């Protein structure tokens, strides 16, 4: 990925508070621990690091493809920008920018290898049902739905795994079974694959 932060940061120091930045979504910007915190936006030759409020972060994974043109309402803050809202850029404006910027297209996440989706199977039948299998399945699904960092994980309800006494049971993508795990214990086992 290009490292073109300097022009953007220099501009940020002198820019008035609050601007609409129009550019191309490059990819997610992450913390040192790998959590999604915001987005990288290419505006001409400059790349902006923009922090997003929590409620906008899932959109990066579900609705926005790297390379798409967007408009971001943001204001400069310390060494980066902080966004208030993100919307798609109308196609007429996007094609104008495409023409103006020509070869400045960013190296987007779409160019990187796709991440494999990992499936956790949860037994929700028989004894597991009585022992909380449905609740475990629901809690895992909620955790995955609300956390963009778990976009590589899917949750599936299944039938008996022949370990009824120890339920509720689930099976990890590597085939290992967990008995009565908490959602956090199960999700800690599914790290993204590169």
- What does the binding site for ligand FES look like in residue numbers (CB under 6 A)? 123, 125-128, 160-164, 167, 169
Query: Based on CB atoms, which residue is closest to ligand FES, 5 or 166?
Result: 166
According to DSSP H, which parts of 40-182 are helical? 57-62, 91-101, 126-130, 133-146
**DSSP for 46-73?**
EEEEEE--GGGHHHHHHT--TT-EEEEE
Q: Shortest distance, CB of residue 136 to ligand FES, whole angstroms?
A: 11
Instruction: Give me the least distance between CB of 184 and ligand FES, in Å please.
Output: 21
CB of 166 to ligand FES, least distance (A): 8
Residue 82 or residue 166: which is nearer to ligand FES going by CB? 166
Question: What is the nearest approach in angstroms of ligand FES to the Cβ of residue 140?
Answer: 15
Instruction: State how far the Cα of 43 lies from the Cα of 60, in Å rounded to an integer.
Output: 18
* Closest distance to ligand FES from the beta carbon of 13 (Å): 59
Of 79 and 185, nearer to ligand FES (C-beta) is 185
Cα(173)–Cα(189) distance, rounded to whole angstroms?
9
Residue with tokens 């300097």: 6
Q: Which is nearer to ligand FES, 107 or 163 (CB)?
A: 163
Please say which residue, 119 or 164, places its beta carbon nearer to ligand FES.
164
Q: How many CA atoms lie within 13 A of 181 on its CB side?
A: 22
Q: How far apart are CA 125 and CA 134, in angstroms?
A: 8
């Amino acid at each position: 990925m290009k490292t073109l932060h300097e022009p953007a940061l220099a501009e940020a120091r002198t820019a008035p508070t609050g601007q609409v930045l129009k550019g191309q979504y490059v990819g997610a910007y992450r913390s040192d621990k790998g959590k999604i915190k915001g987005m990288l936006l290419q505006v001409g030759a400059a790349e902006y690091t923009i922090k997003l409020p929590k409620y906008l972060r899932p959109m990066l994974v579900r609705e926005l493809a790297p390379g798409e043109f967007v408009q971001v309402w943001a204001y400069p803050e310390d060494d980066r920008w902080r966004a208030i809202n993100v919307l798609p850029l109308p196609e007429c404006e996007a094609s104008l920018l495409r023409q103006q910027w020509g070869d400045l297209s960013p190296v987007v996440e779409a160019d990187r290898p796709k991440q494999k989706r990992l499936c956790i199977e949860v037994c929700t039948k028989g004894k597991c049902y009585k022992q909380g299998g449905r609740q475990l399945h629901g809690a895992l699904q909620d955790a995955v739905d609300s956390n963009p960092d778990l976009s590589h994980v899917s949750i599936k309800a299944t039938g008996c795994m022949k370990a009824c006494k120890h339920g509720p049971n689930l099976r990890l993508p590597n085939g290992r079974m967990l008995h009565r795990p908490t959602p956090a214990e199960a999700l800690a086992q599914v790290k993204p694959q590169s």
